[in-house]
Amino acid sequence: MAALRESEQTDKNLHQAAAHPVTWLRQKLSKVVFGGNRYDRAEFAGAFGDLGTFIPFVVAYITVNKLDPVGILLSFGLLKMFVGLYFKTPMPVQPMKAIGGAAIAHPEAVTQGMIWGSGIFSAAFWALMALTGAINWVEKITARPVMRGIMLGLGVSLIIEAIGLTTDEPVLAVLAGILTFSLLTNRRIPAMLLLLALGVVYSLVRDPGLFSQLSGMSLHFRLPELTVGRITWNDLLFGALLLGLPQAPLTLGNAILGTVGENNQLFPDRPIKVRTVALDHGFMNIVSVAIGGVPLCHGAGGMAGHVRFGARTGGALVILGLIVTLIGLFLSDSVVLIFGMLPKAILGVILFFTGLELASTMRDIGTKKDDVYVMLATAGLAVVNMGVAFVVGVALYYAVQRKIVRL
């Protein structure tokens, strides 16, 4: 039977090679040289699909929490390249949002050591969840309506956040939105590249003084300072209790279950497992914290953003990771200026389309009333609290299945 399947696959490959020799040869060369990743115009455009989340958090960590930009950018850059090469899909690397939100909102109470301590806790927690098999059990009990509800809720949350970013510059936002809608499926002129260009031109016209600031930038090579010996036991304890634990439900729903579900729906030829992704959270956070970075995660929203703007392989993450690494190593003193070239309205439009893409994954839920109810209940709660949404969604699903609740 195995020999027969192998023979059929060989015949299929020969047929494809004969029918489309140039395409077949390009695919084979790409697989050999790039490991299946692509590095073309679409991947380059899709690389920036997660900027709506990435830039605001990075700038805030640097300006509000006074973290060294070298450590933040180098950890992001290196880990984006690693993830792109390993998973070979547009797997995002994002800041953990609950931790980042709390740290940025309360800089007088949250120390740098607590931020790093929360990263150590997150690394240990998710590595333990993977190694004990607990994360597989959680995946097993999470029914599709619950998972789709989480993704729908996250998508709506991103859309609401995006609208908030555009309120100060509504005209620019409307223009950028129209431009994006008109080019969403255009492979020759990626919408993202024109969005970035529009944002930069708008910033320069609005503030001509940026020309002199940009001309004053200089290359300055700098390595990050290691955090060994800079984290106290108090940092670890309070970082875990006040930052790490509240982040865990969001990481579970969005960064692990949501990302795995979305990846396997979009790229069935490159499936991933929750255990692998949980372990990767452990690895990423140990590396990031060690060089002065911030707690990191994956995220269904980030993947939706990369895919919406053209990415289909891990090449997008390698491209963005290389750019971020070079900025961190040579232009760390100018990070805020560089990222400030993209107005909030542009970031909002990027985030808006990311939310639409993520929310649209619910379209395969079908029309069964019970499933739709569970999905919508989970989604509504997910907009407010991911942990509550997960628990209530799972409980409601099984209550309906066992006829305890009738809809």
Helix%, strand%, coil% for the chain, nearest 5: 75, 0, 25
The answer as to whether 400 is a domain residue is: no
The larger pLDDT score, comparing residue 398 to residue 25, is at 398
Q: What is the total count of domains within the chain?
A: 1
CB distance 154 to 301 below 8 Å: yes
State mean pLDDT over 201-211.
92
pLDDT greater at residue 272 or residue 215: 272
Name the least confident of 27-36, 50-59, 325-334, 397-406: 27-36
DSSP 215-265: HT------PPPP-TTS--HHHHHHIIIIIIHHHHHHIIIIIIIIHHHHHHH
Is residue 18, in this structure, part of any structural domain at all? no
Q: Does 9 map to a domain?
A: no
What is residue 403's predicted lDDT score, i.e. its pLDDT?
87
Task: Specify if 294 maps to a domain.
Answer: yes
pLDDT at position 161 over 50: yes
For the chain, the average pLDDT equals 90
CA–CA gap between residue 277 and residue 264 (Å, rounded): 12
Backbone angles phi, psi at 297, to 5 degrees: -155, 175
pTM: 0.87
Q: Cα(first)–Cα(last) distance of the chain, in Å?
A: 47
pLDDT reading at 263 higher than 60: yes
Say if 242 falls within a structural domain. Answer: yes
- Long-range contact set of residues 38-43: C-beta below 8 Å, sequence gap at least 24: 38/312, 38/313, 38/315, 39/315, 39/318, 39/319, 40/315, 41/187, 41/190, 41/193, 41/310, 42/187, 42/190, 42/310, 42/311, 42/312, 43/310, 43/311, 43/312, 43/313, 43/315, 43/316, 43/319
Q: Minimum mean pLDDT among 10-19, 69-78, 88-97, 109-118: which range?
A: 10-19
For 138-144, what is the mean pLDDT? 92
| Residue 106 included in any domain | yes
* Residue 220 structural domain: 34-363
- What HEC string does 52-105 produce? HHHHHHHHHHHHCCCCCHHHHHHHHHHHHHHHHHHHCCCCCCEECHHHHHHHHH
In a domain, 76, yes or no: yes
pLDDT in tens, 300-352: 999 999 999 999 999 999 999 999 999 999 999 999 999 999 999 999 999 99
Q: Is residue 248 part of a domain?
A: yes
